[in-house]
């Protein structure tokens, strides 16, 4: 089957996440990058496109222009990847959705809840698909954990403990990444809570299958002069009486990308961390702890999909990211009748994006109100 | 030097912690068990005493009687260990303190704050010493962590994350241990929060050297019919702006005695868990993580004391407990001019006990008030 | 820069390692797969090619034909990947080398030392390059370990302990992979020793920079009826007096792909395992153990190359494999004056292949002679 | 029950293992130390005895004298602990055995095979018991592993991998411990092989239940000027076709007391290390790895004995050592009809001591003969 054609907005020279998206799109051979508005700076846009073997006529400097012209081409792109800073998600997303082009958007969904809702409106009006790259959801053992919980292996859930802990902002720091991620104008009012807190929150609801109902949050900016939060403590309440703690931080020395999830039910628990993503502890009450491995013994159907290397050959961050691109391709092809719909996959979409934005808003509101409980209105798990 | 003479209240046949105290008292040879009121049941008291080679005339059935008669003997006990359920700490502690006999008391201090304060009053009026067996404080690497923080290795502290997680009460359970620990009349109003939450809290303040100022707690009793909490979520605020989360649970399958402490400052962090107590991670910002081992390279003075086996030969729970008994002996002997006072040791005492009771009371009050912030009045770190 | 054009011999439907090579070739965008002799079965060859979007006229059923016709095309392939079973390496490798086409060959080099030497002769006569995919050598921390040793961080080396342990052949097993790997006619006289023992051996010499001088090997076939070894014990002697043990096994339950390397010198040691490839222990004598992370603090120049995701985002098996494809592309372009030669990379080549074959031969000879010492003649580290 | 009375030979001020024996003897309250020939230096002997509250008339300077006088006392010692350097085991052991006094002797049994056989002769002629403190055999999970293997949980055994690795002799070192352990006159011809290699070997046979039949050993003295081996590589062959590697070293930086055992059978494997002795991996083929914990789920009868603290409260080196003292007390009392014989315990004795000496002798002989195979004559597992 021929690869689909991908465009990209953002991700020019010096960017980080754009390169990750490109590798992810290549790994399984489902996508060819053929067009881009890689930078708002025309010189950088052209140079970046050239490096990536994008034909000059498809190296745009303006995403509005790109959406219009790609929509008009017979060989126009099948989807666009939006990899700009948060405040630059809404405008291109809406432009491509309105042009009928599928969108693969980085997270968090936007820099404000208002922008997020505007995207959601555009999604509801468009025939095109919208995918949100909550990449951690695509690790095979995360899929397996979700499936184990859904089928009752843990019993009724009681506790969801999640954390995403880094250290790179322990001190004052200035570089391209740090600058936009700590600038409220570009990242939104949330700093750490938006950048990685949303990942933690998304993973907790994604795996547990439970919506959060309310939360109490205590946010801090430990580094003097920092305008956004760099540490986030949250007490969570989920539907059906489950409770949880959520911690995200960018000022905890010794932590690189410590995303860790522990869920406990009446019958068993699971424990997983993304820095060692090919193992998961499964702890049935009253029995020895079992080490489940990616594609290993007792792998469930969901844990056995999207496997590229045998057990014991570690797959990592890029492979999980690639699974989202593979699933987007599969869904788009199925929409066109070119492939079988894959009813079992659980690719994050606009609802995950909205939930994340509501989480950010609730955390900020709660923290400003001395950690009073705030409802997560409209929260839904899909 | 001759061993000191120890008496014991509680700890008869079928008890758990009494046996632990006895082993701890024997390990370093500082104590001989010579007297006891081991049970309120006279038959069991005598049988237990006989098993332990206690002379019949010092096998008491009444601790009041025991305090009086031991105080009157020329060869009376040098200290009494109180190892009864929580609601039976205050009466014997006060009786022995009033008799001028040193007390080594299990934790938490009492079943109510009122009882705790009565003990404190008795301590203040007595010449005798009062020791509280917060045993986890005596692991060599915990002593080292405390010392590293005090001397500034971590810089100003920002974050204190502590948890103590078990699974033994995941389901309804009835046996001697479960029964009294889940009975408010014997354990006090706190269940999990008193039994192990106090250990977590104590360790956090002990190692950090910081007092907590206020907390917001969300307590649950997940097992139907349980009369006390079995899961505890707390957001903590410490003096000087440090923050923290505290989680204790007895319903998290796969956790035996998962007491874990992580502290982060402006310059570095530490991470320690009691199930692997002979290693500690030290994470200076911008440098590789270092694995510090008990009595190993870069051991500090405090981490080099009370070492009984070379590095790599694991010491554990009983050895840490024994260190408290060794320190109690040293302090008692120093009080009598028979030994050099050890100014550097940090043996938990009545202040730790009161702080723990205030922590329990604040958690329960906060949780009843929908996790509103409650001050930890009178909190002090010593 | 335009991708290079890749052909493939072997790797049709149902194969394992061919798919790995294809992903590896795609990850960094340096290669397009445009031609193949994917199977000796014409029907399967065409079907496989079609699935991979290879044009029908470049879907060959005969590698001789393929070498000739690709060499003759103006847009002929820049390199061919040979991913057939071991006994089918030599013939295509020689054919493409004689046609002046660069070869990327899976390991071990061949099924016999004779075949291996024939390939080496062809390499020496050809202007084309020969690369051997000893993929484990390309993990960033392996490159870093090699560099640390070369610059003296460990001091003079004394001990090299290496093992590669699996369990998949613990019982009798029949499938496509098991069948050829346990068939002396296809895998060569060595079973486990050739399949994974060579990886262990290669890694030991690659990282240490030391040649082995002699070995004593005790090989077993534990599973009844198995015609090749499934467990390998070797005592190794290296130049300069270093010693080591090497263990490879396919019958050790609980081991998936347990390739582990420990090297100790007069001043320090390192420890690394491929199932957690993003961490490495560095153990300077008399200092705390340090956990070095991929692209983390104190990463060396060699450990900082070929990094696709930030520290803490795990890279794995496929990324290391991709680095070999990236380096092959870089070397081929440099040969053509289209890129700067990368003098610092250490891509395995024909010498590694020959050394591996000598290792297999020596192990088999030693084991047949009751583990007598056998010299590794001609051994060289490059 | 009254404690038994213990004497000690060796273990005066400045010694290491004597203090360990004393703690071990105290932990369970079965022994009182009442007599000693703690040093051959009379001043040190008396001072050491006084520190330990040994009555002056039982502070001997001569073990011959001690054996005679203790045997003659109505309240004479029930056993003597011999904790001198290896070359000083035989003479006191024989003296006490001839006096009819039970002996608890440190390992290795002696400094020469001749001395060892003299002890064995004395054992066979005496009514007294002889215990050898191969302390690692008494970890609860080691007892459990032995039992699991004996009852067939692993199936027929194929592989036994054992290592005991330290780093303290990485460089030239002079202190009391280093001096005698590297002096052939005091430690015997074996250095590392006797000091810790025997522990590794003993543990392998103890747990597997298999005798070794022959071995090929390559010994080195890496540190210039060292008169005994400091690194030991051995290929082992056991009865019934099992094979193994054994590595012991005192020059591997980063290793404190790394005693690790892995055993694999046709059905499953186990993996245990003494630096984390409260967990053991159990790896049934085709199933997830299970983490067995001391006294935890699926603990076997043997793994449930000699438990002093609940699961998750780590027990360590001293507790395992104490179990040997508890078992010696039990056996001695059973011999006198004062206790029930414990048929299920497996306390190391003279046979283990002889096997260890034969292992040392075979290693040295093999290494001198360029690692030729040497039989382990007379080897027996009991």
pLDDT at A378 over 70: no
Structure confidence at residue B378 (pLDDT): 61
| Residue B379's pLDDT band (cuts 50, 70, 90) | low
Q: What percent of chain B has pLDDT over 90?
A: 90
Contacts of the segment C293-300: beta carbons below 8 A, 24+ positions apart = C293/A256, C293/B288, C294/C139, C294/C140, C294/C141, C295/C140, C296/A256, C296/B288, C297/B286, C297/B287, C297/B288, C298/B287, C298/B288, C299/C140, C299/C144, C300/C144, C300/C147, C300/C148
What is the H or E stretch that residue C248 is in? strand C243-249
Token pair 């907005």 is at which residue?
A9
The answer to whether the Cβ–Cβ distance between D316 and B319 falls below 8 Å is yes
Instruction: State the Cα–Cα distance between residues A118 and A99, nearest whole angstrom.
Output: 15
CATH class of B139-309+350-375: alpha beta
Domains in chain D: boundaries: 4-132, 139-310+349-375
Kindly report the nearest CA distance between residue A154 and chain C, in angstroms: 24
- Chain A nearest-CA residue for D284: A297
pLDDT tens string C171-187 = 999 888 888 888 888 88
- The single-letter DSSP state of residue B266 is S
Contact D26 B27 (CB under 8 A): yes
Cα-Cα-Cα-Cα dihedral sign, residues C250, C254, C257, C260: negative
Confidence of residue D379 (pLDDT cuts 50, 70, 90): low
Assign B380 a pLDDT band (cuts: 50, 70, 90).
Answer: low
DSSP one-letter code for A154: T
- Judging contacts by C-beta atoms under 8 Å, the chain B residues touching residue C286 are 297
Range 327-346 of D in CB contact (< 8 A) with C? none
Q: Quick one: pLDDT at residue A15? A: 82
Which residues have C-beta within 8 Å of that of residue B239, sequence separation ≥ 6?
A: B210, B211, B212, B213
How would residue D281 be classed by pLDDT, with cut points 50, 70 and 90? Answer: very high
Token digits for C324? 């070999």
Say which DSSP state A59 is in. B
Per-residue pLDDT at B38 exceeds 90:
yes
For residues C119-144, average pLDDT: 98
Q: Residue D12 corresponds to which tokens in the numbers above?
A: 């005066």
Spell out which residues of chain B touch residue A286, defining contact as CB-CB under 8 Å: 253
Closest chain B residue to the Cα of A237, Cα to Cα: B218
- Residue A278 confidence (pLDDT): 98
Best mutation target, B256, B260, B298, B321, to test chain D (most D CBs within 10 A): B256
Radius of gyration, CA atoms only, chain A: 20
Distance from CA of B259 to the nearest CA of D (A): 9
Q: Render pLDDT for C64-112 as a digit per residue (tens, 0 to 9).
A: 999 999 999 999 999 999 999 999 999 999 999 999 999 999 999 999 9
Q: At the top level of CATH, which class does the domain B4-132 belong to?
A: alpha beta
Residue A379 binned pLDDT confidence (cut-offs 50, 70, 90): low
Please report the pLDDT score of residue C77 as a whole number.
98
Model pLDDT for residues B130-167, shown as the tens digit of each residue: 999 999 999 999 999 999 999 999 999 999 999 999 99
Alpha-carbon distances, residue B381 vs B115, B209, B352, D345 (angstroms): 21, 6, 8, 48
Structure token pair of residue C65: 């034909």
- The rounded percent of chain C whose pLDDT value lies above 70 is 98
Residue C363 has pLDDT above 70, yes or no: yes
Per the prediction, chain A carries an average pLDDT of: 95
Q: How far is C42 from chain A (nearest CA, A)?
A: 20
Q: How far is C294 from chain A (nearest CA, A)?
A: 11
CATH number of C139-308+350-375: 3.30.360.10
Identify all chain C residues contacting D235, using CB atoms and an 8 Å cutoff.
216, 218, 233, 235, 371
**Residues on chain B touching A264 (C-beta within 8 angstroms):** 249, 251-254
Do you know the residue count of chain D? 382
Does pLDDT of C61 surpass 70? yes
**pLDDT at res. B336:** 95
pLDDT of D380 reads 52
A345/A368 Cα distance (integer angstroms) = 38
What is the DSSP code string of C265-323?
Answer: ESSEEEEEETTSTTEEEEEETTS-EEEEETT-TT--TGGGSS--S-TTS---HHHHHHH
Span B333-369, pLDDT tens digits: 999 999 888 777 789 999 999 999 999 999 999 999 9
Rounded to the nearest angstrom, the minimum Cα separation between C341 and chain B is: 32
* CB B351, CB B315: distance < 8 Å: no
Residue whose tokens read 């993929």: C135
3-state secondary structure of D180: helix
CA distance D176 to chain C (A): 19
| Helix/strand/coil for B358 | helix
- Structure-token pair, residue C266: 């007069």
Sign of CA dihedral B69, B71, B72, B76: positive
pLDDT of residue C160: 98
- pLDDT > 90: percent of chain A: 90
Exposed/middle/buried for A30, CB within 10 Å: 0-12, 13-18, 19+?
buried
Min distance C88 CA to chain D CA atoms (Å): 32
Question: Is the ipTM, as predicted for this complex, more than 0.85?
Answer: yes
Residue A289 φ then ψ, to 5°: -60, 140
d(CA D185, CA A29): 70
How far apart CA C83 and CA C106 sit, in angstroms, is 6
Q: Order of strands across the sheet with B79-82?
A: B31-37, B4-9, B79-82, B102-105, B130-132
Statement: residue D344 has pLDDT above 80: no
Burial label for D224, CB within 10 Å (0-12, 13-18, 19+), is: exposed
What would the pLDDT profile of A92-111 be if each residue is shown by its tens digit?
999 999 999 999 999 999 99
Per DSSP, C112 falls in state: S
Closest-CA residue of chain C to A253: C297
Probe site for chain A from C5, C195, C316, C323 (most A CB atoms < 10 A)? C316
Chains with 3 or more CB pairs under 8 A to chain B: A, C, D
Question: D303 pLDDT exceeds 80?
Answer: yes
Q: What percent of chain D has pLDDT over 70?
A: 98
In sequence order, what are the residues at sequence separation of 6 or more whose Cβ sits closer than 8 angstroms to the Cβ of residue B190? B108, B197, B228, B229, B360, B363, B364
For residue range C238-289, what is the model confidence (pLDDT) as tens digits? 999 999 999 999 999 999 999 999 999 999 999 999 999 999 999 999 999 9
What's the rounded mean pLDDT across residues A285-302? Answer: 97
Is the Cβ of D290 closer than 8 Å to some Cβ of chain A?
yes
Sign of CA dihedral A316, A321, A325, A331: positive
Q: Give chains near C: 3+ CB pairs under 8 A.
A: A, B, D
Mutate to test the interface with C, among A52, A313, A320, A321 (most CBs of C within 10 A): A313
CATH architecture of A138-309+349-375: 2-Layer Sandwich (3.30)
Cα dist. D285→C230, D150, D270 in Å? 16, 18, 11
Name the strands in the sheet holding A4-9, side by side, starting at the edge strand that comes first in the sequence.
A31-37, A4-9, A79-82, A102-105, A130-132
Residues in CB range of C4: below 8 A, 6 or more apart: C30, C31, C32, C78, C79, C329, C332, C333
Mean pLDDT for chain C overall: 95
Q: What is the mean pLDDT of the segment spanning B224-228?
A: 94
Mean pLDDT of A340-366: 92
Q: Find the residue in C nearest to D214 (Cα).
A: C370
Select from A22, A51, A257 the Cβ nearest to the Cβ of C313: A257
The verdict on a CB contact (< 8 Å) between B285 and A231 is no
**Pairwise CB contact (< 8 Å): D297 & A288:** yes
The answer to whether D6 and D36 have CB atoms below 8 angstroms apart is no
Residues A109 and A189: their CA atoms lie apart, in Å, by 13
Nearest to A158 among B218, B222, B289 (CB): B222
The pair of structure tokens assigned to B6 is: 């120890």
pLDDT band (50, 70, 90) for residue B189: confident
The share of chain A scoring above pLDDT 70, in percent, equals 98
Chain B interface includes C298 (CB < 8 A): yes
For residue B182, name the pLDDT band (cuts at 50, 70, 90): confident
Q: What is the C-alpha separation between D295 and D297, in angstroms, rounded? A: 7
pLDDT at B37: 97
Which chain A residue is nearest to residue C19, measuring alpha carbons?
A308
Q: Is C292 within 8 Å of chain B by CB?
A: yes
- Provide the CB-side half-sphere exposure for A134 (13 A, CA): 31
Nearest to A318 among C2, C22, C309 (CB): C309
Query: A167, A233 in Cβ contact below 8 A?
Result: no
Q: Is B118 on the interface with A (CB under 8 A)?
A: no
D289 interfacial to chain A (CB closer than 8 Å): yes
Give pLDDT, residue D346: 87
Residue C141: CA atoms inside 13 Å, Cβ hemisphere, count? 28
Q: What is the mean pLDDT of residues B39-48?
A: 92
Q: Is the pLDDT of residue D48 over 90?
A: yes
**Cβ separation of C308 and A166 shorter than 8 Å?**
no
Closest approach of D366 to chain A, Cα-based (Å): 37
> Quick one: pLDDT at residue A31?
98
Q: What is the pLDDT of residues B92-133, one digit of tens each?
A: 999 999 999 999 999 999 999 999 999 999 999 999 999 999
Apex C135 CA angle, C130 and C141, nearest 5? 125
Distances (CA, A) of C23 to A135, C20, C316, C324, D164: 19, 5, 13, 12, 41
CB contact under 8 A, D235 and C235: yes
Give the closest-approach CA distance of C309 to chain A in angstroms: 7
A288 touches chain D (CB under 8 A): yes
If you measure CA to CA, which chain A residue comes closest to C17?
A309
Q: C53: which chain A residues are within 8 Å (Cβ-Cβ)? A: 1-3
Residues B353 and B220: their CA atoms lie apart, in Å, by 24
> Is the CB of residue A267 less than 8 Å away from at least one CB of chain D?
no
Query: Does the beta-carbon distance from B264 to A252 stay under 8 Å?
Result: yes
**CATH of the structural domain D139-310+349-375, one choice from 3.40.50.1580, 3.30.360.10, 3.40.50.300, 3.40.50.10190:** 3.30.360.10
Task: Render pLDDT for B250-270 as a digit per residue (tens, 0 to 9).
Answer: 999 999 999 999 999 999 999
User: Which residues of chain D neighbour A288 with C-beta distances below 8 Å?
Assistant: 282, 290-293, 296-298
């Amino acid at each position: 089957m021929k690869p689909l054609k991908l465009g990209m907005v953002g991700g020019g020279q010096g960017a980080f996440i754009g390169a990750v998206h490109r590798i992810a799109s290549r790994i399984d051979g489902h996508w060819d990058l053929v067009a881009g508005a890689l930078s708002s700076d025309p010189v950088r846009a052209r140079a970046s496109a050239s490096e990536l073997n994008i034909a000059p006529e498809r190296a745009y400097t303006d995403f509005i222009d790109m959406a219009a012209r790609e929509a008009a081409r017979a060989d126009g792109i099948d989807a666009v990847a939006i990899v700009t800073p948060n405040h630059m998600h809404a405008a291109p997303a809406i432009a491509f959705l309105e042009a009928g082009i599928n969108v693969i958007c980085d997270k968090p969904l936007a820099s404000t809840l208002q922008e997020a809702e505007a995207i959601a409106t555009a999604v509801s009006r468009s025939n095109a698909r919208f995918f949100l790259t909550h990449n951690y959801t695509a690790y095979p053992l995360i899929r397996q954990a979700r499936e184990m919980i859904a089928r009752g292996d843990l019993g009724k859930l009681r506790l969801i403990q999640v954390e995403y802990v880094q250290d790179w902002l322990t001190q004052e720091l200035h570089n391209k990444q740090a600058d936009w991620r700590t600038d409220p104008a570009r990242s939104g009012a949330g700093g750490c809570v938006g950048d990685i807190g949303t990942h933690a929150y998304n993973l907790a609801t994604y795996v547990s299958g439970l919506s959060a109902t309310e939360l109490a949050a205590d946010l801090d900016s430990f580094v003097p002069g920092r305008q956004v939060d760099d540490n986030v403590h949250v007490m969570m309440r989920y539907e059906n009486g489950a409770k949880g703690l959520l911690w995200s931080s960018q000022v905890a020395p010794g932590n690189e990308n410590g995303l860790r999830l522990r869920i406990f039910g009446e019958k068993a628990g699971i424990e997983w961390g993304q820095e060692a993503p090919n193992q998961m502890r499964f702890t049935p009450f009253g029995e020895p702890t079992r080490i489940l491995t990616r594609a290993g013994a007792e792998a469930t159907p969901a844990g056995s999909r999207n496997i590229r290397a045998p057990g014991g050959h570690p797959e990592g961050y890029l492979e999980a990211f690639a699974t989202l691109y593979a699933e987007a391709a599969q869904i788009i092809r199925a929409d066109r009748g070119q492939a079988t719909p894959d009813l079992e996959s659980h690719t994050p979409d606009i609802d995950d994006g909205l939930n994340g934005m509501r989480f950010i808003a609730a955390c900020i509101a709660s923290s400003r109100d001395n950690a009073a409980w705030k409802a997560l209105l409209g929260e839904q798990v899909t």
